[in-house]
Amino acid sequence: MALTELNFEFTPKEPKELNDEWGHVGIVSSGDLEILIEKGNAYKGKASFHILTTVVGFDNVWETVLGRLVDKTGLSGVKVSINDNAATPAVVKRRLQQAIENGGGLQ
Amino acid sequence: MRMDWEELQEKSFYRSSARERAYGIVDPGTFREFLGPRDKMYSPHLVILGEAVEFDDGIVVGVGKIDKHPVFVISQEGNFVGGALGEINGAKMAYMYKIALKCYEAMKEKYGTVPEDRKPLVVVSYDSGGVRLHESNAGLVAHSECMEALWKLQNKVPNISITGSSLGAYGAQGFVCMSGDVVLANDYGRIGLTGPDVIQQEVGKDEFDASDRALIWRTMGARSKYILGDVDYLLKDTIKEFREKVKELADMSMSDISKHRHLGSPELVEDNLELVKIAAELKIDDSKDLWEYYGNENLDELPEMPQEEFLKVAKRRPRRGM
Amino acid sequence: MVATTNFLGKAHDAIEYIFDKETFVENKIGSTRLDPDLAPPAMVGEATLDGTICTVLSVNSRRPNPRFRVVFNGVMGMEETYKFSQALYATIDADKDKPIDEKRPVVLLIDTPGNSPGKIEEIVGMTKGTASYQFALMDARAAGHPVIGMIVGRAISGAFLCHGLLSDRILSLPKDYGTIVHVMPTTSIAVITGIPLERLNELVKTNPVFASGAEFVYKLGTIDELLDNPDQMRDAIIRNIAEVKELRKQGREDKLGIWNRGQVGAERGGRVKRIEAIEKMEKEFENILPDLLE
């Protein structure tokens, strides 16, 4: 019954670094999520995701949605922490883009 | 993390998140958050219960500046578990009052007396239903800790309450809000102890019909509270309006700020009791009865008319000392 | 002594049980006479405890308030909170010229199910009533009066917040003697939060934050002392008054009240994250304090 914890790591083909030290967006209301992106030397060339979600059994969906977005944007050199309260994939995608923007975008 | 201060100024206070309100209420670029998202201090109790968590536990606290005044900001996020207080966000809120007092003492030590143009302030933006039931015992005592700590700010550190977000200041947050020196609101502000649903559930629909929106607004809403004196200033719904009012108050002397107080002295007990007695004698059934008693006309239009017009025509309960 | 060992709904009986026999005088505090028509449920006055004059604040569940239909069965309405406030200011006034040693104690007998959930209360401002009473309790403590809360029945949610939680010390009878200490029953919490009751009941065993009852909130530090039975109340109150007086004389305010109980609770294993949050904030604050003073 406790929260589900998911961890993924992606390595984009064309890695791009976040401009700022960190970015943050979102409020964990029902159907929404918050995303915190933090730069870190330990994550060189990759994006490491740590997710706490109320929903069970959508590991593959998360992996697909996040993996595609990392590939498309080149997001790397970061740890991404997510608190999710049953957001749809569309919302996850939009928030991740906003979080990158809030962190100054990618270079 | 980026926050466009200029953009925030024109933004609706009502539609702003707790963090946006916190950054926008002080001078540009001055807000520094304590225990922000990167500290990841979220509720261990919600985790156990399988409930979603938030890195700031639903509250944004920190300090910014308005001119030379340090401004200690507590900003609640109603969209996360009803903005309600649990162990961590409760500790964050209560400790902010302690920190504000420490700042005051440090300033006193440095300058001899605290210069009026540097005095620290507390600003609380309420958006909460009170105790977080998921960790109820912790939430309850946290409110008591807030009261013990904020009581000590009187006549030292101005404590400004703002209600202008979707959930208002309800439950135990209602009395924490009224314990501030000055209460600011926009037209969305609400202050109450027992919410409409709970009254209906506990006493019955004949006492309170929780589906009656108009009844809710004229009972707990900012306009009625403004007429009856609980809301000191009714403002337009932009962050800028609130920041400018806070700035104006910051420049006021502590003794002038204290004159706004709604409770906390034997004189104010009698002042408040007088309103209770009037309500009992008139056998009021609706806030409109009291609006009329204090000389208001067009009672049905008061909640609906544009704010500017309302502020022109509204007649308020005279308050002791003001 | 009254032949009862359960004060649920009968806090007024506890007055005779605890204080010196037949010394309670209602609506009198020093030279002040409180209006007997105001707030009938608010049973306030003076009684002596081992010869020492005390202010007693309790709610009489058998008396309704004729002016406010929701105020009955021990509920605290607006008049009640203001009358308690008046009693506290009269207490401060009565001893204003006395040295700290002679400030009369204030004893709260706690048995109330809630603040009045009524429409009129919301229009006029129940919020201000409960906050006024809390400020008056703080004012009494600041003036040097020891304030002891004694849970003899219901100590529930907002009513416990105003009538009890801000005491210097809080004592409680165990639940076998009819005490109920919580925000709301676990059954209601299950309904509102959607968490299955069985799950909550299971969690309660390991985490007092979810629990209901004096035994659990004791672990959080919300209650200083859990008594075994009513016969211990009188002596425990007398002893706690003496301890509070002594600590106050030594300037150890930090060992009294709700903030101290938070520390006590952490030692008992409750709310440990709270301490961690506070310590981190303290460090962040200290780092920027020099800038704030510029």
SS (H, E, C) A35-73: EEEEECHHHCCCEEEEEEECCCCCHHHHHHHHHHHHHHH
In a domain, residue A27? The reply is yes
- Interval B239-259: pLDDT, tens: 999 999 999 999 999 999 999
Average pLDDT across chain C, whole number:
94
In this model, does residue B320 exceed pLDDT 60?
yes
List of chain A residues whose C-beta atoms are within 8 Å of the C-beta of residue B50: 1-3, 54
Could you give the 3-state DSSP secondary structure of residue C118? coil
Q: Tell me the DSSP string of B129-186.
A: -SB-GGGHHHHHHHHHHHHHHHHTTTTTS-EEEEE-STT-B-THHHHHHHTSSEEEE-
Cβ A52 vs Cβ B76: under 8 Å: no
Q: Which element (helix H / strand E) includes C161?
A: helix C157-162
Tens of pLDDT, residues C31-75: 999 999 999 999 999 999 999 999 999 999 999 999 999 999 999
Q: Is residue A19 part of a domain?
A: yes
In the prediction, which pLDDT does B321 show?
Answer: 60
Q: Do A20 and B77 count as a contact with CB atoms less than 8 A apart?
A: no
**Chain centre distance of CA C68:** 23
CB contact under 8 A, A54 and B1: no
Residue A107 lies in a domain: no
Measured between beta carbons, which residues in chain A are less than 8 angstroms from residue B167? none
Q: Pick from B42, B48, B52: which is nearest to A54 by CB?
A: B52
Q: What is the pLDDT of residues B192-206, one digit of tens each?
A: 999 999 999 999 999
Kindly provide the b/e burial profile for residues B88-121, where b requires at least 16 CB atoms within 10 angstroms of the residue's own CB: bbbbbbbbbbbbbbbbbebbeeeeeebeeebbbb
| Cα angle for residues C33, C39, C41 (degrees, 5° grid) | 110
Q: Residue C3: is its pLDDT beyond 50?
A: no
- Residues C73-101: pLDDT tens digits? 999 999 999 999 999 999 999 999 999 99
Consecutive H or E run containing C147: strand C147-156
* Placement of tokens 């996020």 in the chain: B77
What pLDDT is stored for residue A1 in this prediction? 65
Residues C249-254, mean pLDDT to the nearest whole number: 93
Mean pLDDT over residues C114-123, rounded? 97
Residues whose CB falls within 8 Å of the CB of residue B71, separated by 6 or more in sequence, listed in order: B25, B26, B63, B64, B65, B120, B121, B122, B123, B246, B250
Q: Indicate the fold that domain B5-191+230-263 takes in CATH.
A: 2-enoyl-CoA Hydratase; Chain A, domain 1 (3.90.226)
Domain edges within chain B: 5-191+230-263
ipTM reported for the complex, 2 dp: 0.98
Cβ atoms of B163 and B126 within 8 Å: the answer is yes
Task: Residue A62: give its domain's CATH number.
Answer: 3.30.230
Q: How far apart are CA C91 and CA C133, in angstroms?
A: 13
Is B47 an interface residue toward A (CB < 8 Å)?
yes
Who has greater pLDDT, B125 or C215? B125
* pLDDT at C4 exceeding the cut of 60: no
Q: Is B136 on the interface with A (CB under 8 A)?
A: no
- Is the CB of A3 inside 8 Å of chain B's CB atoms? yes
Among the partner-chain residues B103, B133, B269, the one whose CB lies closest to the CB of C89 is B269
pLDDT(B36) > 70: yes
Of how many residues is chain B composed?
Answer: 322
Percent of chain B scored above 70 by pLDDT?
99
CA distance B178 to chain C (A): 6
Q: How many domains does chain A have?
A: 1
Separation in Å, CA of C232 to nearest CA in chain B: 26
CB atoms within 10 A of CB B252: 16
Chain C CB within 8 Å of residue B67 CB? no
Q: Is the pLDDT of residue B322 over 80?
A: no
Listed residue (B48, B51, B71) closest to B61, CA to CA: B71
B175 reaches C (C-beta below 8 A): yes
Print the domain residue range for A19.
Answer: 4-102
CATH annotation of C11-293: 3.90.226.10
Confidence of residue C12 (pLDDT cuts 50, 70, 90): confident
Tens of pLDDT, residue by residue over C189-229, are 888 888 888 988 888 888 888 888 998 889 888 999 999 99
B76 pLDDT above the threshold of 50: yes
